[in-house]
Amino acid sequence: MSHAGEEDWTQGWHPQARRIASPNFGPRPPKARVDLAIIHSISLPPGQYGGDEIERLFTNRLDWNAHPYFEAIRGAEVSAHFVIRRDGELLQFVSTLDRAWHAGPSCWQGRDNCNDFSIGIELEGLEDHPFEVPQYARLAELLRACHTHWGIARIAGHEHVAPGRKRDPGCGFDWVNLQALLGWEAQCFPPSIGR
């Protein structure tokens, strides 16, 4: 779906992302229509930023004994397609051609198993806490590229596809700001963002 003059995503890898391949992925179902981006938040340990713990978690190299919180997630095998650090740095762990393990049990607009048809984007942050200006700028840029190259037409939070189970990115995420940055129609966003 790329247009002339735009950078090519070789095998589903964003040309400007720092690539850190995760083993935690699988194939998408045949003929899956990938049209949803799911926004998450993550920090390890919770509320601490800038370390390599997210990278270690997504590549199955996290030292479970390094912090008391890690015992609660011991053995987790998870990933997302992208992580956006607090300073806007873009990391990619799974090709967008593949199914990352980010949403878990989930449903969006009557479609179950959101991992099958979504791109997972983690923002380094804590649910319900504010995110940084460079993160919104990078997120909007990434979502525009995902729309152009992969047909992403909808955006939801983890809290919207797994209500009652997940709360991220939470009330600290500024959906109105993201909509303004993208200029997309209201129906592209969760109905509960207070427009």
Catalytic site includes residue 53: no
Catalytic residue selected from 122, 124, 127, 159:
122
| Cβ neighbours of residue 29 closer than 8 Å, sequence gap 6 or more | 116
Cis geometry, peptide bond prior to residue 30 (ω within 30 degrees of 0) = no
First to last CA, the chain: 31
**Closest CA relative to residue 56, chosen from 40, 73, 39:** 73
Distances (CA, A) of 41 to 16, 56, 103, 166, 177: 21, 16, 12, 10, 17
Helices 133-150 and 175-182 cross at an angle (nearest 10°) of 50
What DSSP string runs through 36-75? EEEEEEE-SSTT--SSSHHHHHHTT---TTSSGGGGGGTT
Supply the residues annotated as catalytic.
122
